[in-house]
């Protein structure tokens, strides 16, 4: 313990003497957590709409008014020419075209049905899918309003209409920040831990101090623990800062116990820091360590379930998430923050993370050589 104490003193002094590391630890996560949740929004708004109205009836005007007043669409073009509307799409001035045929109101009154045509600019697939879904939902709501009006003033005999009511559990108001902020916080803790530890041993190699350490009578596990523990403490500190910002700025109060988050984060940081130390033992320069860490972190984050659902991934990607530590921490954060899960509920995640941490840190210890 005496040997480890001196190594920890050296590492903490080295960290707090470097302004770049201090900025990465204390300033970067705060700024990113204040900005990213406002930009990473699953809702698509300001969809530019072009309307081709060949009917010009009360029904068509009511439909257009309902679409534009929804808050999702901006009426960019209104005419009776489909060619002009398509030119708006080709010039990237419109995202979606709604064509109302000339016999729209006549079909509603006489045939009890009517057809509309949507033409969607699918270059941006996400915007196209969501914009089309929003417009279809608005048209269905418009259809229900007409049916209710006919029921109240029975000129027709509409079919039986079944309505469905829904209840949103764990996130009643569907606030995307309650879903995104915990995941973004996991990404920030991961980046701080992985980048800093991956550069740690490499920095010793570049400045030449690794040779002085190698000739000292310390064991390899002393050296690895001395490199790991300081960033483990700092990672938990960054997590505490992030949870504080989430509460003060976004009003996110975990339903579960905060201690549950820190218990899992302690295991998670052991795994991530072990990965960073493993990278640093195999690289010879900080540039190599940064590039390799960036590559691995991008793969872990993109396949971690933050931006896309794991259930919608192909089979090979689902298999990869079984060994992806980021996916486990994101799921645990959402379980504790939104559902109020406890330690017993995340026991499988903790056992898996403990196994990953043991494998990566053991690998880092065995791969470190005191002799070149």
pLDDT in tens, 138-182: 988 888 888 776 655 445 454 545 555 677 788 887 788 888 899
- Dihedrals φ, ψ of 118, to 5°? -110, 130
| Domain layout of the chain by residue ranges | 2-40+172-367, 47-152
Evaluate whether 184 touches 36 at the Cβ level (below 8 Å).
yes
SS3 of residue 1 by DSSP: coil
- Of 80-84, 128-132, 203-207, 319-323, give the lowest mean pLDDT range: 203-207
From CA 330, how far away is CA 178, in angstroms rounded? 12
Domain formed by 47-152, architecture: 3-Layer(aba) Sandwich (3.40)
Residues 6+ apart with CB under 8 A from 281: 201, 364, 367, 368
From CA 37, how far away is CA 301, in angstroms rounded? 16
pLDDT in tens, 82-108: 999 998 888 888 889 999 999 888 888
Q: What would the two tokens of residue 216 be?
A: 């000292």
Determine the Cα angle at 116 with ends 45 and 161, to 5°. 90
In the block, residue with structure tokens 């996130």: 171
What strand order describes the sheet that includes 73-79? 73-79, 47-53, 96-100, 117-120
pTM summary value:
0.79
Would the pLDDT of 256 be above 80? yes
Q: What would the two tokens of residue 284 be?
A: 């010879």
Q: Which of 235, 218, 237 is nearest to 226 (CA)?
A: 218
pLDDT in tens, 317-354: 999 999 999 999 999 999 999 999 999 999 999 999 99
- In 61-193 the beta strands, taken as DSSP E runs, fall at 73-79, 96-100, 117-120
% residues pLDDT > 70 (the chain): 91
């Amino acid at each position: 313990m005496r040997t480890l104490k001196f190594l920890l003193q050296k590492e903490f002094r080295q960290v707090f003497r470097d302004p770049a590391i201090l900025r990465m630890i204390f300033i970067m996560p705060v700024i990113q957590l204040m900005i990213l949740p406002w930009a990473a929004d699953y809702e698509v708004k300001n969809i530019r709409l072009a309307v081709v109205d060949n009917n010009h009836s009360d029904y068509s005007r009511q439909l257009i008014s309902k679409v534009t007043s929804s808050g999702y669409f901006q009426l960019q073009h209104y005419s009776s020419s489909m060619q002009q509307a398509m030119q708006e799409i080709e010039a990237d001035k419109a995202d979606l075209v709604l064509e109302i045929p000339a016999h729209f109101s006549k079909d509603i009154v006489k045939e009890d049905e009517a057809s509309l045509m949507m033409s969607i600019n699918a270059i941006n697939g996400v915007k196209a899918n969501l914009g089309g879904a929003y417009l279809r939902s608005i048209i269905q709501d418009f259809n229900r309003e007409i049916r209710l009006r006919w029921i109240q003033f029975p000129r027709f005999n509409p079919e039986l209409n079944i309505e469905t009511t829904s209840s949103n559990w764990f996130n009643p108001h569907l606030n995307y920040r309650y879903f995104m902020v915990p995941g973004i916080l996991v990404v920030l803790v991961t980046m701080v831990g992985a980048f800093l530890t991956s550069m740690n041993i490499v920095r010793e190699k570049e400045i030449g101090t690794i040779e002085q350490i190698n000739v000292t009578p310390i064991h390899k596990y002393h050296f690895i623990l001395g490199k790991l523990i300081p960033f483990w403490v700092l990672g938990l500190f960054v997590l505490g800062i992030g949870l504080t910002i989430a509460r003060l700025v976004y009003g996110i109060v975990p339903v579960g116990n905060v201690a549950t988050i820190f218990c899992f984060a302690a295991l998670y940081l052991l795994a991530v820091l072990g990965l960073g130390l493993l990278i640093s033992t195999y690289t010879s320069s900080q540039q190599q360590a940064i590039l390799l860490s960036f590559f691995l972190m991008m793969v872990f984050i993109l396949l971690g379930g933050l931006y896309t659902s794991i259930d919608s991934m192909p089979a090979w990607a689902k298999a990869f998430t079984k060994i992806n530590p980021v996916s486990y921490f994101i799921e645990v954060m959402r379980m504790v923050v939104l559902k109020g899960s406890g330690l017993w509920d995340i026991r499988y995640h903790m056992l898996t993370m403990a196994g990953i941490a043991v494998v990566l840190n053991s690998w880092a210890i065995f791969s470190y050589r005191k002799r070149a």
